[in-house]
Structure 1
């Protein structure tokens, strides 16, 4: 299964208790599915390096409807505007 991936957002906080949050735009080339994957990791060095990781996938529309606009939301909106702006510019050249 091939996946094309584009990171939208990454935030890491630490050092004793490290929290990482990463959102990635993913296109599954086999299933022809485009979605956002969010991975959250929590490392607590005070408890013998206990690591908790969670990964969730969501539809792009669901991701954009979440409350609070993060850097990931802004990057996805930027990519969408770029994609559709190119389409509009190309259509104008044809007519």
Structure 2
């Protein structure tokens, strides 16, 4: 499975109780799907510490409709604007 990923947002807080949150824009080249993947990890570093790790995927529109505008939202909007900018030449060939 070929996955192309671009990180949109990452936040880590800690040190005794560490919380990590990361959002990634993912394109699955096999299924031709584009979505946002959110990974959340919570580590309690105390005696007998516990780790909770969750991953969820969501449609881009659902991600953008979430409350609050994180830096991940702003990065995704920036990427979308660069894809659809009006001064782009639609006849320009894409070389690979």
TM-score by length of structure 2 reads 0.90
- Cα gap change, 1:90/1:57 in structure 2, threshold over 3 Å: closer, same or farther? same
Q: Which residue of 1 aligns with 2:71?
A: 71
Q: Deviation per CA, 1:55-83: give whole Å up to 9, x if none.
A: 00000000000010000000000000001
Which sections of structure 1, spanning at least 5 residues, go unmatched? none
State whether structure 2 residue 92 is matched by structure 1 residue 90.
no
CA RMSD of aligned residues (A): 1.7
Aligned residue in 1 for 2:53: 53
Distance 1:90 1:38 in 2: 33
Q: Could you tell me how far apart the structure 2 residues matched to 1:6 and 1:17 are?
A: 27
For the residues of structure 1 that align with 2:37 and 2:64, how far apart are their CA atoms?
13
State how many pairs are aligned: 92
User: Could you tell me the TM-score, scaled by structure 1's length?
Assistant: 0.91
- Structure 2 unaligned regions, length at least 5: none
Quote the Cα distance in structure 1 between the aligned partners of 2:50 and 2:38. 20
Distance, in Å, in 2 between the alignment partners of 1:19 and 1:47 is 17
Runs of 4+ in 1 over 2 A off after TM superposition: none
